[in-house]
Structure 1
Amino acid sequence: MKIGKLSGPLTAVSFLAGLGTAMKLAKDPFPRPGSTAAQIREYFRGSSTAARISVTGQLISVAALGRFTGSVVGLATRSGSRTLEATALGGGVLAAASLATSAALSTSLTTKDRPDETTQTLSRLAFLAGGPVHGVGYGLLIGALGLAGRRTGEVPSWVTGASLVSAAAGLASPLYLKWEPAGWLIPIGRFSGFLIGAFTGPRLDH
């Protein structure tokens, strides 16, 4: 099997494996947005091994996502739409870059203690990069996949419909910054996108 065919499933599996392992090993709960500096330190310093395992999963996911983006761009190219091609590329780059940024910021929190304000700022930026910003990029990528798949007929119709719903959740995830209940859009967009990517990835590379 070509490496490209594994990129969709690997994007999901690596992220989820890192997250799941970190949750089992962590001594303290992952700090939610708005957590105190002490709570952030308790997790990233007290459960640094768990945090780094999660980061490792994210970085593997970033690498797989970069390859998966190439597959979606190829599908968009076959659809004949320059707009979808640009959307897939831009969305994939944004999704990968933001997740990598979140991983780097999270890693920095495991290395040493910092002033309270700096600790909270780094934690918030890591959340923003890996949450709403990543959601927008991933939403653009999955949405382009759905529309290009519909144009080419290479993706089943039910998948194209699910892709648009997933994309809408990802694109709307920044609403969390103004309305807290919208935070559910972040995992909805991410995990539905994972399922779509895992299903379509092996079918996109010819």
Structure 2
Amino acid sequence: MDQYTIQHSPILMNKSAEIVSRQAGHPSPPLGIVAIVFAVLFNAGLYQVITFSGKAHFPGPWESADTITGYFQAHASEVLVCAFLQFGAAIALGIYTATVVSRLQYLGVRAAGASIALFGGLMTVFSMATASLVLWVMAYPGIAHDVAVLRALYYFSFALGGPGFSVPLGLLIAGVCVPAAFMRLLPKWLVIFGLALAVIGELSWLDLITPKALLLIPLTRFPGFIWLIAAGFLLPKAIKHATTPVRS
């Protein structure tokens, strides 16, 4: 195929432009930095309600109604700050999700994995945002004194922030890992780590029927922060090698 044919063929010209564009780099927010912002905001919010010094801390679902209502009545300001920061974390995760899916598509992923990642990421974001807004309601003056309403809101918030977070996060991670493995976009160790987290995340679904599965939620959440940050920095922004042109 001669140079004249290439220059005057719209299909070949478009293909050539696409290859050059992909080599130039994906125009997007820095994924690794966005993941760090997400992790920092989330954990800063968690810091407001968690303590390791034996003082009052955010109650677990196994605790008594008096303990749950007593905490929210006495610590409304800490819960309010937690809700504020974690709502911000949800926004950061939404930006990460949109960017990582766009990056996969830019790098040539046409498989269902990118769409699964988008679904999982957005579901995690919606769960987080809703849970944080419910926490804000619980911290609102007067709500904590209505025991029945508070307990209903508490368990709803816990479900959203528990399996409602870990299960779809596993889908986000798996949706990135599988196509990245086939196209060698991420290191093998990070793919294996991600797939293990995805399995744990999906198994955390069992928490809805057995309290013994509760540990699977933090086992997905906190290592998941590390995976998201690592993937954000290691996922390439551009195709390293141009596709070999078709010759006739």
Q: TM-score w.r.t. structure 2 length?
A: 0.76
Counterpart in the other structure of 1:47: 75
8 Å Cα contact 2:48-2:79 kept in structure 1: no
Instruction: Show structure 1 runs of 5+ residues with no match.
Output: none
1:92-171 mapped onto 2 (5 Å cutoff): 92-111=121-140, 112-113=142-143, 114-171=145-202
Aligned length: 206
Matched to 1:19, the amino acid is: L
Name the % identity.
Answer: 27
C-alpha separation between the residues in 2 aligned to 1:27 and 1:38? 16
Q: TM-score w.r.t. structure 1 length?
A: 0.90
8 Å Cα contact 1:27-1:43 kept in structure 2: no
8 Å Cα contact 2:201-2:216 kept in structure 1: yes
What whole-Å deviation, never above 9, does each CA across 1:136-194 have from its counterpart, x for those lacking one? 11110011121122123221100000001111111111201222121010000111111
How far is 1:47 from its partner? Answer: 0.9
Asked whether 1:11 is paired with 2:38, we answer yes
What whole-Å deviation, never above 9, does each CA across 1:12-67 have from its counterpart, x for those lacking one? 12111221243359962211114333322222221112112222221121011011
8 Å Cα contact 1:71-1:205 kept in structure 2: no
Matched to 1:161, the amino acid is: I
**Residues 183, 79 of structure 1: alpha-carbon distance in 2 compared, 3 angstrom cutoff:** farther
C-alpha separation between the residues in 1 aligned to 2:108 and 2:189? 18
8 Å Cα contact 1:76-1:144 kept in structure 2: no
8 Å Cα contact 2:56-2:71 kept in structure 1: yes
8 Å Cα contact 1:59-1:100 kept in structure 2: yes
Matched to 1:96, the amino acid is: V
8 Å Cα contact 2:127-2:164 kept in structure 1: yes
How far is 1:101 from its partner? Answer: 0.8
Instruction: Show structure 2 runs of 5+ residues with no match.
Output: 1-27, 238-248
C-alpha separation between the residues in 1 aligned to 2:210 and 2:218? 15
C-alpha separation between the residues in 2 aligned to 1:75 and 1:122? 37
Q: Which has the larger radius of gyration?
A: 2
- The CA RMSD measured in Å over matched residues stands at 2.2
C-alpha separation between the residues in 2 aligned to 1:94 and 1:186? 16
What whole-Å deviation, never above 9, does each CA across 1:94-129 have from its counterpart, x for those lacking one? 000001111011111111235322211110000000
Task: Give runs of ≥4 in structure 1 deviating > 6 Å.
Answer: none
8 Å Cα contact 2:128-2:160 kept in structure 1: yes
How far is 1:3 from its partner? Answer: 4.4
Asked whether 1:193 is paired with 2:221, we answer no
Asked whether 1:179 is paired with 2:206, we answer no
Which deviates more, 38-47 or 64-73? 38-47
